[in-house]
Amino acid sequence: MNKPVRVLIVDDSEEDSELLVYELERGGYNPVYLRVDTPAAMMAALNQQPWDIVLADYSIPQFSATVALALLQEKQLDIPFIIVSGSIGDETAAAAMTAGAHDYLLKAKLARLVPALERELREAQVRQEHKQALFKLEYLAFNDTLTGLPNQRSFLNSIQKRIEQSQRKLHGLFAVLFLDIDRYQIVKYSLGHLLAEQLLVAIARRLETYLNPEDILARVGTDEFALLLGDIQNPQSAQDRADQIQTALKTPFKLDGLVVSSSTSIGIVLSTIGYDQPEDFLRGADMAMHHARTQGRGGSAIFDRAMQTHAVERLQLETDLQRAIKCQQLHLNYQPIVSLTTGRVVGFEALVRWQDPQRGMVSPSEFIPMAEETGLIVSLGEWVLEEACRRLSLWQQQFPNSSPLSMSVNLSARELVQPGLIERIDELCFAFRLKAESLKLEITESILLENAEAAATILAQLKQRQIQISIDDFGTGYSSLSYLHRLPIDTLKIDRSFISCIDKQGKNLDIVKAIIPLAHSLKLDVVAEGVETEEQLLKLKALGCEYGQGYFFSPPLNDEAVVALIATMPRMEIEKKKFVTAIAAHSLRRKNSGADDFLKASDSRELRRVSSN
């Protein structure tokens, strides 16, 4: 079978052309050819179809090889070009090669035609592959392969261009938006890598439908998109666009039969900020996004310079916390959980404390949310879990005859769905010879509702091992209670905001009155958090609440104080005076008291009140 080849011949002689074709046929080719003898005809031929090679006479009456080469260049076509001429001098040949011809040969010596053609076709192929590779590299350098959107580098170039246009006063206002998918890491752990990627693609496609012609959408991080609003009327219109996008992304996505919903936090920088570096825009929008997120997920915020100062402080806090985890500047305090019927301490809640050399005592309410956001919570949580298990095990060894104590450990969303959690707990129970039922994990309702499927699987595995599950801060935020029936939960911890005014008639009392029987009907026990006064205690006891925790009984204590407390425990009764006196005596006797240093620092008034009760 002869090989097909598409040959464009530039020649005024049909006879000469046929000679060329004959020569190619002899060499094993099956040429499809067209002869042209004017620039217009050549143009038409180039427009009509692709050609593998051009064979051109050097000079014909209305045309020449150099003009033909110029036409190819004009059309940016890289087609092998061989001059086939009746006679050609060295100088002309050199000129033709300089103009871009690949080879030349004489009509009298056509035996060279086929080898020359083959070589040129091969080289053209190599050039083509090279070009494609370069093209691909360039594409990769400026695009995100997953979504096909421009990447950060390309986005920064676009901002740069837009800044220059503004400087030349060619356009009005513009804005840069930074979009971050809330809880993407958790989605990733619960749905798996592939579905999580599909979610990103689906988000990109949906965002594209909200673009105006002057806008540019890019993917600038794993779950981060950026949007250049190229032309906005006023600051409010940037805010309106952000609202519109957030509403659009709230509609759930259907992926592989699963319905996935997500929310997005957005930061906005307006061109009126006056930056002249594209990076500043992106960084500012990122900071504003973080600011929006601290106000709650799914919000947006417009950047101002105060946010920058705040972001720097936050970064410092993050760096310091990282170091604190590494250098073991963290420790745990343990707050007793007391049976309201017997007055006995039944267990402790481990609460992390960070004593920073410069900052002093940093509240977990300040660093836990940040640790969750940055992922530091994973290593922090691992440490907390291990330390809590170690302590409980030591207390058990020290007081083998004391009634069994439980240890409650707070677990954030990220920790619960972190792969390997179950294995880790198994290892810890084994290493510290703890019964699984002495370990209690405190998780919030929102974790269960936002990651329902993943959470259900993990809870089932925990239940198999008889590890206890407590719902922390119960009653805040969510009204859906259906999960209480479905999931293997042991305890509800009523949030302290409900306990605080329980001694007065009112809504809080009604809520607590409703929660306790509900819990009992589901065979759950109830811990009241934040019990601060005797009246609260008596009320809770009357309502049938089993357990209490709060400053009335004891602030969180350090290890030494816990040991002292356990040593006196058999003597303690629900007559609270005795109980509190026991703890207060320990706390006050020591100069460096065992009672929560953090509490001392933040609310020593409260402790004194408790102690003097």
Shortest separation between residue 510's beta carbon and ligand C2E, angstroms? 21
Residue type, 334: Y
Q: How far apart are CA 244 and CA 366, in angstroms?
A: 31
Site size toward ligand C2E, by CB under 6 A: 24
- Confirm or reject binding of residue 410 to ligand C2E (CB under 6 A): yes
Give SS3 for 63. Answer: strand
Q: Which is nearer to ligand C2E, 217 or 469 (CB)?
A: 469
Q: How far apart are CA 307 and CA 329, in angstroms?
A: 28
**Which residues are within 8 A (CB) of 328 and not within 5 positions of it... i.e. 6 or more apart?**
none
Residue type, 229: L
Residues in the chain: 613
- Convert residues 339-378 into a mask of x (bound to ligand C2E by CB under 6 A) and - (unbound): -----------xxx----------xxx--x----------
Query: Which residue has its beta carbon closest to ligand C2E?
Result: 550
Among 261, 247, 199, 200, which residue's Cα sits nearest to residue 225? 200
Give the containing element (helix H, strand E) for 83.
strand 81-85
Shortest separation between residue 194's beta carbon and ligand C2E, angstroms? 29
- Convert residues 521-560 into a mask of x (bound to Ca ion by CB under 5 A) and - (unbound): --------x-------------------------------
Shortest separation between residue 558's beta carbon and ligand C2E, angstroms? 13
Shortest separation between residue 258's beta carbon and Ca ion, angstroms? 31
User: What is the torsion angle, in degrees rounded to the nearest 10, for the CA atoms of residue 494, residue 496, residue 502 and residue 506?
Assistant: -90
* CA distances (Å), origin 154, targets 140, 171, 218, 268, 281: 10, 20, 8, 19, 14
Q: Which of 410, 451, 536, 558 binds Ca ion (CB under 5 A)?
A: 410
- Confirm or reject binding of residue 611 to ligand C2E (CB under 6 A): no
- Confirm or reject binding of residue 11 to ligand C2E (CB under 6 A): no
Residue type, 122: R
Q: Which of 85, 198, 271, 335 binds ligand C2E (CB under 6 A)?
A: 335
- Confirm or reject binding of residue 335 to Ca ion (CB under 5 A): no
Q: Tell me the backbone φ, ψ of residue 457, rounded to 5 degrees.
A: -60, -45
- Confirm or reject binding of residue 508 to ligand C2E (CB under 6 A): no
Q: How far apart are CA 226 and CA 203, in angstroms?
A: 12
Structure tokens at 274: 């006056």
Q: Return the residue matching tokens 């690949």.
A: 102
Q: Which is nearer to ligand C2E, 96 or 352 (CB)?
A: 352
Binding segment toward Ca ion, per CB under 5 A, in 53-61, 212-220, 339-347, 435-443: 435-443
Q: How far apart are CA 57 and CA 600, in angstroms?
A: 98
User: What is the torsion angle, in degrees rounded to the nearest 10, for the CA atoms of residue 51, residue 56, residue 62 and residue 68?
Assistant: 50
Binding segment toward Ca ion, per CB under 5 A, in 19-27, 303-311, 327-335, 465-473: 465-473
Among 202, 210, 186, 373, which residue's Cα sits nearest to residue 286? 373
Q: Which of 57, 180, 450, 472 binds ligand C2E (CB under 6 A)?
A: 472
* CA distances (Å), origin 315, targets 308, 319, 394: 10, 6, 37
- Confirm or reject binding of residue 604 to ligand C2E (CB under 6 A): no
Site size toward Ca ion, by CB under 5 A: 5
- Confirm or reject binding of residue 473 to ligand C2E (CB under 6 A): yes
Give the containing element (helix H, strand E) for 533.
none
Give SS3 for 66. Answer: helix
Q: Which is nearer to ligand C2E, 55 or 528 (CB)?
A: 528
Rg of the chain's alpha carbons, rounded to an integer?
Answer: 38
- Confirm or reject binding of residue 415 to Ca ion (CB under 5 A): no
**Which residues are within 8 A (CB) of 151 and not within 5 positions of it... i.e. 6 or more apart?**
141, 142, 143, 144, 218, 219, 220
- Confirm or reject binding of residue 442 to Ca ion (CB under 5 A): yes
Shortest separation between residue 351's beta carbon and Ca ion, angstroms? 8
Q: Which is nearer to ligand C2E, 57 or 473 (CB)?
A: 473
Q: How far apart are CA 494 and CA 500, in angstroms?
A: 11
Give the angle 554-558-563 at the CA atoms, nearest 5°: 85
Residue type, 511: I
Shortest separation between residue 550's beta carbon and ligand C2E, angstroms? 3
- Confirm or reject binding of residue 556 to ligand C2E (CB under 6 A): yes
Shortest separation between residue 297's beta carbon and ligand C2E, angstroms? 17
β-pair type (360-362, 439-444): unpaired
Partner interacting with residue 532 (select from Ca ion, ligand C2E, none; CB below 5-8 Å by kind): ligand C2E
Shortest separation between residue 495's beta carbon and Ca ion, angstroms? 6
**SS3 letters across 278-300:** HHHHHHHHHHHHHHHHHCCCCCE
Q: Which of 387, 415, 472, 596 binds Ca ion (CB under 5 A)?
A: 472
- Confirm or reject binding of residue 384 to ligand C2E (CB under 6 A): yes
Give the angle 254-255-259 at the CA atoms, nearest 5°: 45
- Confirm or reject binding of residue 473 to Ca ion (CB under 5 A): yes
Q: Which of 51, 63, 303, 551 binds ligand C2E (CB under 6 A)?
A: 551
Cβ-count burial of 230 within 10 angstroms (0-12 exposed, 13-18 middle, 19+ buried)? buried
Q: Which is nearer to ligand C2E, 249 or 352 (CB)?
A: 352
- Confirm or reject binding of residue 191 to ligand C2E (CB under 6 A): no
- Confirm or reject binding of residue 594 to ligand C2E (CB under 6 A): no
Binding segment toward ligand C2E, per CB under 6 A, in 135-143, 321-329, 480-488, 527-535: 527-535
- Convert residues 437-466 into a mask of x (bound to ligand C2E by CB under 6 A) and - (unbound): -----x------------------------
Q: Which is nearer to ligand C2E, 412 or 418 (CB)?
A: 412
Binding segment toward ligand C2E, per CB under 6 A, in 75-83, 199-207, 510-518, 523-531: 523-531
Q: What is the largest CA-CA distance in the chain?
A: 121
Partner interacting with residue 271 (select from Ca ion, ligand C2E, none; CB below 5-8 Å by kind): none
Q: How far apart are CA 10 and CA 2, in angstroms?
A: 23
- Convert residues 113-152 into a mask of x (bound to ligand C2E by CB under 6 A) and - (unbound): ----------------------------------------
Per CB under 6 A, residues contacting ligand C2E are 335, 350-352, 363-365, 368, 381, 384, 410-412, 442, 472-473, 496, 529-532, 550-551, 556
Per CB under 5 A, residues contacting Ca ion are 410, 442, 472-473, 529
